[in-house]
Amino acid sequence: MKIFLDTANLDEIREAAALGVVDGITTNPSLLAKETGDPEAILVEICETVDGPISGEVVATEADGMIKEGRHLASLHENVVVKIPCITEGLKATKILSGEGKRVNMTLVFSPTQALLAAKSGARYVSPFLGRLDDIAAPGMDLVADIIQIFDHYDFDCEVLAASLRHPLHVVEAARMGADIATMPKSVFDKLLKHPLTDIGLKRFLDDWEKVKAQLAAKAV
């Protein structure tokens, strides 16, 4: 499973990218609004930092505007993936942009039928927002499972990008289901590696090794 970070914060991105396991980045207008500076310049900087798919979202809501914005975003850097909301106008724009060879990440997907239409319109990625479904007491992971099951029957060139992940168990479940990608905030990413038994075990190894060194030093005297 590919791991993406869901952030527009360059410090977070640089820190995580240094581990060598970050495959891409997803941003959205809300995430870019948290940062200081020109959003386009930030997007380009992200593309220079992580060599993988970097989603930048359109804010137009009519197909023509989405297409214009999508073309512009795609022209900023070869890594840019155009993120388009899963609405009627978004489908029209996705058909055109994907026909031009631009990669589209269809976002704000909350049902299997939306995912199916996104894939049929040529989206390269489909982003079910599972945490936001959990928020309204609808099981978000079930949506991911449904989409994977549906896509398994066909030859869509469309990856399932599990989004709106809120904790490591979401990541585990997405991986168990075979989601192609999981995108997560840096706070969730940081928790993936941590285990108290690893820290305790390492401390014990090092303490024991100090004892060996002390014994050798005592013998040498």
Kindly list the catalytic residues: 83
Return the number of other C-beta atoms located less than 10 Å from residue 10's C-beta. Answer: 16
| Strand-pair partners of 80 | 54
Burial class of residue 89 in the structure, from the number of CB atoms within 10 Å of its CB (0-12 exposed, 13-18 middle, 19+ buried): middle
Of 12-20, 37-45, 57-65, 127-135, the segment contacting ligand G3P by CB under 6 A is: 127-135
Q: Is residue 188 a contact point for ligand G3P (CB under 6 A)?
A: no
Q: Is residue 6 a contact point for ligand G3P (CB under 6 A)?
A: yes
Q: Is residue 9 a contact point for ligand G3P (CB under 6 A)?
A: no
Of 32-40, 92-100, 129-137, 171-179, the segment contacting ligand G3P by CB under 6 A is: 129-137
Total binding residues toward ligand G3P, as defined by CB under 6 A: 9
- The CA distance from 185 to 178, in Å, is 20
Using the Cα atoms of residue 175, residue 179, residue 185 and residue 186 in order, give the sign of their dihedral. positive
Q: Is residue 7 a contact point for ligand G3P (CB under 6 A)?
A: no
Q: Is residue 189 a contact point for ligand G3P (CB under 6 A)?
A: no
Q: Pick one of 132, 167, 186, 190: the residue that binds ligand G3P (CB under 6 A).
A: 132
**Residues 43, 73 contacting (CB under 8 angstroms):** yes
- Helices 10-17 & 39-49 angle (0-180, nearest 10): 10
- Least distance (Å) between residue 132 CB and ligand G3P: 5
Binding site for ligand G3P (CB under 6 A): 6, 26, 28, 129, 131-132, 163-164, 183
